Structure 1
Amino acid sequence: MPALYIANKNYSSWSLRPWVLMKHLGLPFDEKLMVFGEGSNWEAFRQFSPSGRVPCLRDGDTVVWDSLAIAEYLAESHVGVWPSDRDARAWARCSAAEMHSGFGTLRNECGMNCGIRVRLHAIGPALKADVARINELWNEGLSRFGGPYLAGSTFTAVDAFYAPVVFRIQTYGLPLDGAASAYVQRILALPAMREWYTAALAEPWRDHAHEAETLRYGEVTEDLRLA
């Protein structure tokens, strides 16, 4: 059985992408959760991941150490990873790649921290632009391909790639409109997302760097995690 190496569910947005995709599609895997340590995790994570980062999928002798590459690797042997329609598949791949390489301000100022609620000190022009682009992208996909998911009637890799953004919307109360707003609640209600969220709340670990980053940009108004 393939082994999927991930980090803390409360913080690790990159880990969530292949995890929720495989869970939702019913693809079997052995979860290997590696807790973030104080300082660098690079040497410890290098034991299983060539890049020293998560996620990393190990399937026999094959090692896949990037979230987008994992999606493509899975698509080679499993149907449903990407939309079957060619036009929808092209859009989904572009949108997932845009998430994979972009939205730097959103990543920096609204890091994934599932178990808390935050009031941002400010929403500057760069963050506003990132949120506006996500709003535009989601509304486009939902309208163009008919929903209820971004590229059509089924949950695919593009939904998995934006799943961490859904948690960010919940944590920071970022504004969306139209179908994009309802999409957030739909994704949060998925069994796989609920399983991840429940586990994130129950984690006893706190990573100083992630917590400090949150406090740099906002005020914690509620902490729902295990005390």
Structure 2
Amino acid sequence: MKLVIGNKNYSSWSLRPWLLMRALDLPFEEELVPLYREDSKPRLLQHAPSGRVPALHDGTLVVWDSLAIVEYLAEQYPGVAVWPRDTEARAHARSICAEMHSGFTALRSHMPMNLRASHPGKGQTPAVLADIARIDDIWQDCRRRHALEGPYLFGEFSAADAFYAPVVTRFVTYQVPLTELGDEYVETLRGLPAMQEWYTAALQETERIEASEPYA
């Protein structure tokens, strides 16, 4: 398989399937297309009809959109716990991933992902604070339910953690205060070797996307 992604410093959508595949040791090749250049759109259209990242190529098949990619991987690797193994936990995980996939627009708008930056306190509008509180509630609920099964949202690392990974980076960049369980989860995900690998690569990038630098 080949996974097409955007800039690691900025592309939250790319991080999700990349982190999932790397953390679960699913084999893939990576192709990075820098975003917001004059040739970005034509290049992306060569990889996916949406002209966006991420896109997963498996032979002649192309799967685009991070959630569709995750579901495809779950089908292709039934022996790997892409989703939690328990039926109820799996349904819960899908629900919180769908909520992240379609919601939290205030957080996305006012706290764009930017691993190289540090903007403590920036972007905390009332709508953003409401998004943060909801995410912290989700994390607390998951960790209380699955504390005995492991350190991630559903005990074992799963797609749910991959979907909330970009939020973890935002909370670090903007130094967002959280509950104790929320802070513990941030540190847990930051310590994941695959997450550290992504961070290392992101910090070495030199491209700058102005749309993701509102507080520069």
Give the aligned partner of residue 60 of structure 2: 61
Give the aligned partner of residue 31 of structure 1: 30
Is 2:78 the partner of 1:70?
Answer: no
What is the identity, as a one-letter code, of the residue corresponding to 2:152? Y
Does the CA contact (< 8 Å) of 1:21 and 1:160 recur in 2?
Answer: yes
- Deviation beyond 6 Å, 4+ runs, structure 1: none
Give the aligned partner of residue 4 of structure 1: 3
What is the identity, as a one-letter code, of the residue corresponding to 1:114? L
Does the CA contact (< 8 Å) of 2:122 and 2:174 recur in 1?
Answer: no
What is the identity, as a one-letter code, of the residue corresponding to 2:40? N
The alpha carbon displacement at 1:61 in A equals 1.3
In structure 2, do the counterparts of structure 1 residues 37 and 124 end up closer, same or farther at CA, with 3 Å as the change threshold?
Answer: closer
Paired residue secondary structure (1:48): coil
The alpha carbon displacement at 1:210 in A equals 1.8
Does the CA contact (< 8 Å) of 2:111 and 2:123 recur in 1?
Answer: no
Percent of residue pairs bearing the same amino acid type: 53
Give the aligned partner of residue 132 of structure 1: 133
Aligned match of 2:160 in 127, 152, 158?
158
Give the aligned partner of residue 16 of structure 2: 17
Is 2:150 the partner of 1:174?
Answer: no
Give the aligned partner of residue 152 of structure 2: 149
Give the aligned partner of residue 49 of structure 2: 50
The alpha carbon displacement at 1:185 in A equals 0.5
Deviation string for 1:155-190 (max 9, x for gaps)?
000000000000001000112102111010010011
Deviation string for 1:77-135 (max 9, x for gaps)?
21210000011101100001100000000000000000110034452210110000000
Paired residue secondary structure (2:120): strand
List aligned pairs for 1:85-100, cutoff 5 A. Answer: 85-100=86-101
Paired residue secondary structure (1:118): coil
List aligned pairs for 1:97-108, cutoff 5 A. Answer: 97-108=98-109
Aligned partners of 2:16, 2:170: CA distance in 1, in Å?
14
Aligned partners of 1:36, 1:177: CA distance in 2, in Å?
35
The alpha carbon displacement at 1:40 in A equals 7.9
Q: Structure 1, unaligned stretches of length 5 or more?
A: 221-227
Aligned partners of 1:159, 1:54: CA distance in 2, in Å?
19
Does the CA contact (< 8 Å) of 1:88 and 1:145 recur in 2?
Answer: no
In structure 2, do the counterparts of structure 1 residues 185 and 121 end up closer, same or farther at CA, with 3 Å as the change threshold?
Answer: closer
More displaced stretch, 37-46 vs 71-80: 37-46
Give the aligned partner of residue 185 of structure 1: 187
Aligned partners of 1:121, 1:98: CA distance in 2, in Å?
24
Does the CA contact (< 8 Å) of 1:17 and 1:163 recur in 2?
Answer: yes
Paired residue secondary structure (2:56): strand
Give the aligned partner of residue 112 of structure 1: 113
Deviation string for 1:175-226 (max 9, x for gaps)?
2102111010010011000000000000121122222xx32xxxx5xxxxxx
Is 2:84 the partner of 1:83?
Answer: yes
RMSD over aligned Cα, in angstroms?
Answer: 1.3
For these two proteins, the number of residue pairs brought into alignment is 212
Q: Structure 2, unaligned stretches of length 5 or more?
A: none
Does the CA contact (< 8 Å) of 1:38 and 1:207 recur in 2?
Answer: no
Does the CA contact (< 8 Å) of 2:121 and 2:176 recur in 1?
Answer: no
State the TM-score, normalizing by the size of structure 1: 0.90
